Structure 1
Amino acid sequence: MKDPQLDSSQLDAFLKDAHPRTAFSAAGILSGLDGYEFRPAQIEMASLVWEIMERGGYAVIEAGTGTGKSLAYLYPAFLLTLKEESRVVVATHTINLQQQLIEKEVPFLPSVTGLPVKAALLLGRGNYLCRRKLVFYRENLDKLPAGLEKDFHRVLASAENGRGCLEQMGYTIPNELRGLVVSEAETCLRGHCPYQEECFWVQARKAAFEAQIVISNHYLFCADLAVRRHHDFDDDRLVLPPYEHVVFDEAHHLETVAAEYLGLRLDEGETRRFCERLLHREGRWGMGWLSSLRERLLDKGKDLHFLQQSIALLESVIIPGLLGLEEALNVFFRLLREMKDRLAAPEALEAEESFRFTTDLQQENPLLAEVVEHINVEGENWVRSLSQLVDTLQEEEEMTEDAVFLAEAARYFNGLREAIPLVLDGTEEDHVHWVAVERRGSAEQTVVYRVPLEVGPLIHEYLYSNLKSAVFTSATLAVGEDFTYFRERLGLDQIHPAERKELILESPFNYGRQVLLLVTGDLPAPDAPGYTEEVCKLLPGLIAAAGGRTLLLFTNRRQMKEVYKQLAPALQEEGYTLLVQGEKPRNLLLKTFLSSPRPVLFGMDSFWEGVDIPGPQLSLVVLMRLPFRTPSEPLFQARWEALQRAGRDPFTHLSLPEAVIKFKQGFGRLIRTKKDRGAVVILDQRICTRNYGRVFLSSIPGGKLMKLPAARLAEAVAEWVE
């Protein structure tokens, strides 16, 4: 991978002049470029990243908004690929940041150095179109569900123009169509596919394996890590190419994503789609695969014995067997939901949250155990019969596609059989188990989880031992000036202190001039009777003072709905555009907010971060309460108990640091550029009345802090934003 244009002496000279401290300085090679801005914090970050990559080790860097952290890690990564034959993987949480890196930041590097940069973007497989599926529906338009033909032709035109990545199309396709045309492991013919050489997924992976810098995301990275956990680090089943250096941007999300991929999940919706895809004549995929296989056998089969054997096995064993298993799976998830409704705490039911269990549910419920045994035994028989059919189909060249698909179906169901007893055994001390009912659009699905209690030790064992360097960066990693919480969550506390470095870089923004931070101590406590009513009296004045242009951040869906219900009639009558999380897709809510003259957005968890609205369109952020996690959340509850058993204070070591980091994210929604100005109002008296309030305030970059009676908050906002 080393660039052949430079010999060793030229390379040494280039690297000497291109050291980050020189390159990012006011007279450095970056200074002549359009948009260059001298940023001391960026120099500090780039220098540390280069040091860590060059000598090996770990860096944790909190870099405030406006630091220019993307280039501060991409530039050293590029230098490293010049110096040695290495590959650097950059993993972000959001696809938006991935796109920014590959489209804006990476092209910046050749203009700086005069040298080509071999970089590639790699998303998850489901983000790429499948050419074989596109050809099928192009030739069988009648197989498309009603109303999708126009969107299909738009997608087809994009593919024919070489744009096979959904995120690069510039528009969003309907979910129903997406499920029909994207690449999937279970339907991929691999080497048997006539379109393999043109496959968008294959091309994306090939580009990644040839690249020096691979731009990925946390989900794909952790999915790949889960494979590495059970196989060799260089196994050919891996998605990502071999690497020894990694940069995690938006690193405060990494633990959550890692827990998801290093655990197990049984999803009612997923198993239903599996059965629907194989069986049913109506549904998202049209006629089910098994239901239509008989027609294909009659059409393509030439050998009479082959036909009789295959059709008999299909009609007498495989289809009836899967129908029975489908019913058993429906009963399985229904029983889990009934147990959740019967055993969960009342507050969990009201919040439609989760039921954590610490026993083996099969021992708790004999009927559930009976259903599980049925799924296991009959599932094993069904997989054996399906595998027999696969062996028969493989003898006919024209039935290869069916053989590959059904072999993958057999592997999926075997995995399901193996996972069921694992997720139901809640007695494991190192895992947390819970049942949840989750909304998917208008439908509700039952999901059962088995998640590691701590992912840090797993990441340390399966990732760090195979790396030369790792950089973790985000605008929100520290509590005050302390990284202890982040270190422990990601297993970095197991790294020798001499091998890791930590750095906090302040934002270049002048928060004292740009932000008015208002707190009040004379509201009821957030859980006290009367709090919502008092807040509803205050909010219209605050919103009017900012001329709309307000983001209201909640931690409780029920409270958000109640506040909206009380405020909506009057605010709408006064001409405000009210937007509520959950009523429309997130991107559409933000688009409407940006285009409306007097918008007010009611948001929860996902709106505490990732909202980037520069300029006066966002002038007021209201934090309804300090974002402490709900105590009944299963993983949080289990970690709280584990800290208690270890003799550590769970509030100090878990609840408070987690809330502070979330608080910093919410505060950070307001100021995105040096020209922004606005107010942040905190309607939680605990910021003033509890000792830990100082921890929250000391963790944000500043602002003009004023403690006022609640009745004077609107006046202060009006004076500040005018």
Structure 2
Amino acid sequence: MMESQKYAIVDIETTGHSQANGDRMIQIAIVIMKDWCIEKTFTSFIHPGKSIPLFIQDLTNITDDDVKDALPFEAHADTIYELIQDAIFVAHNTDFDLSFLQGEFKRVGLPKWNGKKIDTVELAKILFPSALSYKLGDLAAELNIPLTNAHRADDDAKACAFLLKTCWEELLVLPLSTLEQMHKKSFRLKSNLSQLFFEALQISRSTVSNEDDFIYYKKLALKKPYATNKKIRHQIDFPATSAEKSTLFKKALSHFEERPKQYQMMDIIWEHLNNKSEVMIEASTGIGKTIGYLIPSIIYAKQNNRKVCISTYTTYLLEQLLSSEIPKVEKILGCPINVTLLKGRRNYVDVVVFEQLMKSNDLSYDETLTTLQVLVWLSKTETGDLSELNCSGGGQLFIDKIRKNAEYGKKKQLFDYYDRAIQESEHADLIITNHSMLLADLVRHEPVFNQIDAWIIDEAHQFVQAAVQRDQAIFSYTNWKYLFGQIGYASDHQLFSIFQKIALKKQRVPLTYFQQLEKKFMQMVELFDKTIQEILYHMQKTSLPSKFESKQIAFVHNILTNRETMNNFSIALQGWVDLAEQISVMFKKDIEQIAPEHQLILEQWDFFVREYKMKATEWDEIFLQTDNDYTAWIEIDRRNLPGSIRVLKKPISITATIQQLFESIRKTSAVIWTSGTLTVPKNERFIANQLGIDERVPMIVLQAPASYYKGAKAYVVNDMPDIQSVSQTDYIESVALAITRIVRATEGRCFVLFTSQDMLKKTVELIQESELLYDYMLFAQGVTSGSRMRLLKSFQKFSHSVLFGTNSFWEGVDVPGDGLSSVVIVRLPFSAPEEPTFKAKSISLQQQGRNAFTELSLPEAILRFKQGFGRLIRASQDKGVFVVLDRRIDTKSYGVEFLRALPQISVNKLPLQDMVLEIEHWYNNKDGKRKQVDKNE
């Protein structure tokens, strides 16, 4: 009988990260686990011989008082050393705990500890690839592991022990073939997980398998898809009167409040669905817009046995629809709803490509870790949607390689997730998609869209942006250089030389073809470099760097008057592609069976030839086609040349595109455009005109009653400096001070909205350096790592938190209730006048003799401003303050139009000091007394 494995799970708390600078341990806990049961624990405070920094006291709740009678590390060293002998060392980030401990052993004269280690961060990333975060506290919350006091060694070590056990249980339910492949790849990992995987593999081989739950593509185990319910017709009648609607809602919702405007919205939509007509509805927050369109849509779909398609812009709203709104409607209507989420092809994993890439033996650490994450995820995912994965930065590049691009013949494959989503939509009442997918598929004419009777375009104002993105083309220097590097020359050990060796050895292609191809390749790279030099030369000559930015922008037509080199490059690139394709055809000709390792090389070759083909089209679109409806510009960062060169080409107006897309739809279906912001004062049809919607299509504005906003207060700080008359440093200092005062007055839960990433970064850095908010969690877009979604979820977890965001946080973000106490607008959200698309639109308007400020700049800014306010009050019980730090709202004539766009709430103009006192007073009396917040929340 093999002796069971002993695990020593260790957690330490220290005065800081650097032993070299005299940081020492203040607490240690060791949990000994055998046979997945805790055998013993050791925990002790340790005297660090110095005082504990305040932020460490704040983080750990360990004070100088706690350690004043503790003994130094020397007194415990032998016991600790003894405890971890013959054990596998386990910690949540072994790099820190183990190296710190080894340093302490060395300091007190003990030999270096030798043994195997397991890092539960690495292990959890592999086994829970969709976890929101891999911090111990977050994992504990997500996996229901008890953890009362995070950042206390005793509690953390115990939580880490339970996490290890949970990971072990997770390993045992994985399919055998997944475990086999994980074990094969695990020798590249940083900690000794291969042994753990091997033990799980041994057990898995000798137990009854759960293979029936999976389908297989080669050796990849994928979760078996559920059989979709066929469409069941339910006869539900539309609740025509207010009383009928109230009865329906009351039955299902415990906190029901009657909203007359929501009922009105339902009636309008019901009428247009049945008449197959078009309407625009602006529904402010507080109306219950989502439920307002879902109920009539679903009843209509069920009654007529047809489909309704709902399109949104943000992933956030997609998730919200699926996770909370649709279940709510199922409860209200008392019947199941068949829903399919459809995204664009590139959102799904390409199982065939992943299987190929997995065979490669020279994967980096990041690629190995991501491969293991994907292996585990494939056995769990029902959608194959890659956004479910939480990968590190390096892993993202690998994820981009396994996105679905191509079709696989006409035969439907079970492992093709995109195909599966299309098939599921055959039986759906509701298809939910995003604007970009809708735009792409209206062009591609996915047959599933032919069975749709009605279209509901939510976040309709963003349809403009989605259409621009779909029509844009982007050139990136690093991207092209990467492509050249992948092919390489005969002398490199890259794809060209590997493919050439095989082809010559098998005598499939004569050497002269490869010599010719290499010559074309050299010519192409030379011309590319020449083009780049020309671009840089002209950029330095014509564009002036701005005072604060190292970035430069210039319109292509101003820079590149002679495009001869560009044209020559295009011809050279096409010549290379033609010959590379010809060689591939020659290699495959008259061959029955290609050896698997050659197949992999050939597929990589074909993949890159396809990439070069797409690049050739992109090159011509950007540099060689002139089109007055588009604008193209070059961006560089002088600190990183030529690496930072990017060229972007975007449409100036997308009205014609959208009209063309909806032309056939309008003949047969209802089209309902809705959003919280479709109008601005004095320019009701600003968005309607951009979307090219006929003047005769009605625009209905539904505003929640004034009582809904009774918990909202708005303030304008009227003693902020004027940005024009002070230095940028002084201005940022004033902004940082105002933000910290407001955050402390409202006890966090604050959104701070910027219009410039540069100003956001500098403000956050200043606040961090000054430690003015040292006891708050600060999350900043573009500074804190993670997607917008992840930042938001992290923000919601802490009561003392502040979220700094730019453009995308101005809207489509829902933080109900106490989740948000204040929204601070740093600058009025005007587009930067130098932003190229905006500049091109302005020039176009001026050429028509129109006023670019009143027709474009102002309405755009007011819409964003309305969106920013919309974050604050998401339910009638919500309370919150809306603070504007930009003086122009008070000093400029157009300021009044921004204020007019807000609901009817009081707006107070005060100096910062007075405002902070007022907010504190209001908050202190908010619930009679200020709520105490647990420090460990």
The bucket for the TM-score relative to the shorter chain is 0.7 to 0.9
> Which deviates further from its counterpart, 322-331 or 642-651?
322-331
The AA in structure 2 aligned to 1:372 is: M
Deviation string for 1:549-598 (max 9, x for gaps)? Answer: 33322223343344345443333475344443322224454344334453
Alignment CA distance shift 1:687-1:429 (3 Å) = same
Residues 526-565 of structure 1 aligned to structure 2 (within 5 Å): 526-529=723-726, 532=731, 533-565=733-765
Matched residues in 2 for 1:254 and 1:651: separation? 22
| 2:395 counterpart of 1:177 | yes
**Aligned runs of 1:268-283 on 2, under 5 Å?**
268-279=477-488
Tell me which of 710, 727, 749 is aligned to 1:513: 710
Q: Given the superposition, is the C-alpha separation of residues 442 and 201 from structure 1 closer, same or farther in structure 2, using an over 3 Å criterion?
A: farther
Q: Which of the residues 576, 594, 603 maps onto 1:382?
A: 576
Letter in 2 for 1:102: L
- Other-structure match for 1:301: none
1:191 aligned to 2:191?
A: no
Post-superposition shift, 1:536? 4.6
2:722 counterpart of 1:525: yes
SS at match of 1:308: coil
The match for 1:568 is 768
In structure 2, what is the Cα distance between the partners aligned to 1:224 and 1:332? 35
> In the alignment, residue 204 of structure 1 is paired with which amino acid?
A
Q: Provide the residue aligned with 1:155 in structure 2.
A: 374
The DSSP-based 3-state class of the residue aligned with 2:433 is strand
> 1:462 corresponds to which letter in structure 2?
L
Of 271, 276, 279, which residue of structure 2 is paired with 1:51? 271
1:520–1:50 Cα change, 3 Å: same
- Equivalent residues of 1:517, 1:703 under 8 A apart: yes
User: Could you tell me whether the CA contact under 8 Å between 1:42 and 1:67 is conserved in 2?
Assistant: yes
2:820 alignment partner, one of 595, 618, 635: 618
Q: In 2, Cα distance between the equivalents of 1:485 and 1:507?
A: 22
Asked if structure 1 preserves the Cα contact closer than 8 Å seen for 2:367 and 2:398, the reply is no
652-661 or 620-629, which deviates more: 620-629
2:348 matches 1:128? yes
The change in CA–CA distance for 1:596 and 1:57 in structure 2 (over 3 A counts) is same
SS of match in other structure, 2:280: strand
Farther off after superposition, 240-249 or 394-403: 394-403
Greater shift in the superposed pair: 647-656 or 434-443: 434-443
* Cα distance change of structure 1 residues 186 and 708 upon mapping to structure 2, 3 Å threshold: closer
Which residue number in structure 1 is paired with residue 561 of structure 2? 363
Contact 2:384 2:417 in 1 (8 A): yes
Of structures 1 and 2, the one with the larger relative CO (CA 8 A, separation 6+) is 1
Greater percentage in helix:
1
Q: Deviations over 1:58-102 (max 9, x none)?
A: 222222224322222223322333344643322111222212223
Pick closer, same or farther for the CA change 1:629–1:5 going to 2, 3 Å. Answer: closer
Pairing 1:99-498 to 2, within 5 Å after superposition: 99-113=319-333, 116-136=336-356, 139-140=359-360, 142-166=361-385, 169=388, 171-180=389-398, 188=406, 190-191=408-409, 196-225=413-442, 227-228=443-444, 233=445, 243=452, 245-279=454-488, 289-294=495-500, 307-310=506-509, 312=511, 315-319=514-518, 321-322=520-521, 324-326=523-525, 328-333=527-532, 335-347=534-546, 350=549, 352=551, 354-359=553-558, 362-364=560-562, 369-395=563-589, 396-398=591-593, 409-424=608-623, 428-437=627-636, 445-467=644-666, 468-480=669-681, 482-492=683-693, 495-497=694-696
How far did residue 455 of structure 1 move? 0.4
Residue 93, structure 1, aligned to residue 294, structure 2: no
Moved more, 117-126 or 204-213: 204-213
Candidates 607, 612, 621, aligned match of 2:809? 607
SS of match in other structure, 1:27: helix
Q: Give how far 1:173 is off.
A: 2.2
Q: How many Å apart are 1:682 and its aligned residue? A: 0.9
Q: CA deviation at 1:114?
A: 5.4
* Alpha-carbon distance in 2 for matches of 1:205, 1:281: 44
The AA in structure 1 aligned to 2:377 is S
What's the offset of the Cα at 1:430? 1.9
Which amino acid is 1:130 matched to?
D
Partner in structure 1 of residue 780 of structure 2:
580
- Secondary structure of the 1:173 match is coil
Mean Cα deviation higher: 344-353 or 373-382: 344-353
Name which of structure 1's ranges 659-668 and 33-42 shifts more when overlaid on structure 2. Answer: 33-42
**In 2, distance between residues paired with 1:620 and 1:583?**
21
The size of the alignment, in residue pairs, is 685
AA aligned to 2:876 is K
Aligned to 1:70: 290
User: How many angstroms apart in 1 are the aligned matches of 2:642 and 2:549?
Assistant: 18
Deviation at 1:319, TM superposition (A): 5.0
SS at match of 1:60: strand
SS in 1 for 2:246: coil
In 2, the alpha carbon distance for the partners of 1:340 and 1:616 equals 50
Give the partner amino acid of 2:685. Answer: T
Determine the C-alpha separation between the residues in 1 that align with 2:321 and 2:290: 7
Distance in 2 (CA, whole Å) between partners of 1:686 and 1:517 is: 15
Deviation, structure 1 residue 672 = 2.8
Indicate how the Cα distance of structure 1 residues 148 and 705 shifts in structure 2: closer, same or farther if over 3 A, else same.
same
Aligned residue for 1:196, secondary structure, equals coil
The alpha-carbon distance between structure 1 residues 443 and 52, as it changes in their structure 2 partners (threshold 3 A), is farther
- Taking the aligned partners of 1:203 and 1:107, their CA distance within structure 2 comes to 22
Match of 1:677 in 2: 879
CA-CA distance at 1:486 after TM superposition: 0.4
Q: CA deviation at 1:279?
A: 4.5
TM (norm. structure 2) is: 0.66
Task: Give RMSD over aligned pairs.
Answer: 3.8
Q: Please, which runs of 5 or more residues in structure 1 have no aligned partner?
A: 299-303
Partners of 2:569 and 2:481 in 1: CA distance: 14
SS at match of 1:679: strand
Amino acid at match of 1:363: T
Q: Aligned partners of 2:586, 2:648: CA distance in 1, in Å?
A: 37
Residue 617 and residue 117 in structure 1: after superposition, are their counterparts in 2 closer, same or farther (change >3 A)? closer
| 2:339/2:428 contact within 8 Å kept | yes
Counterpart-to-counterpart distance in 1, 2:834 and 2:303: 51
For the 8 Å contact 1:127–1:183, the answer to whether it is kept is no
When structure 1 is superposed on structure 2, of 182-191 and 156-165 the one drifting more is 182-191
Give the distance between the partners of 1:132 and 1:553, measured in 2 at CA: 43
Counterparts of 1:596 and 1:440, CA distance in 2: 37
Alpha-carbon distance in 1 for matches of 2:766, 2:716: 23
Q: CA deviation at 1:459?
A: 0.7
Note the C-alpha offset of 1:55: 1.2
**Partner residue, 2:261:** 41
Structure-2 change in CA distance of 1:152 and 1:37 (3 Å): farther
1:433 aligned counterpart, secondary structure = strand
Change (3 A) 1:560 1:161: closer
| Paired amino acid for 1:503 | I
1:659 shift after superposition: 0.3
Deviations 1:288-338 (A, max 9, x none): 55454356658xxxxx8xx32436367424455445534543553454355
**Mapped partners of 1:173, 1:184: distance in 2:** 13
Q: Which amino acid aligns with 1:620?
A: S
User: Alignment partner of 1:28: what SS?
Assistant: helix
Aligned: 1:653 with 2:855: yes
Q: 2:40 maps to what in 1? A: none
Q: Which moved more, 1:257-266 or 1:521-530?
A: 521-530
**DSSP-derived class of the 1:165 partner:** coil
Unaligned runs of 5+ in 2: 1-227, 925-937
Q: CA deviation at 1:217?
A: 0.9
Q: Secondary structure in 2 aligned to 1:376?
A: helix
Cα gap change, 1:161 to 1:427, in 2 (>3 Å) = closer
State the shift of 1:654 in Å.
0.5
Q: TM-score, normalised by structure 1?
A: 0.83
2:699 aligns with 502
Q: C-alpha separation between the residues in 2 aligned to 1:85 and 1:633?
A: 48
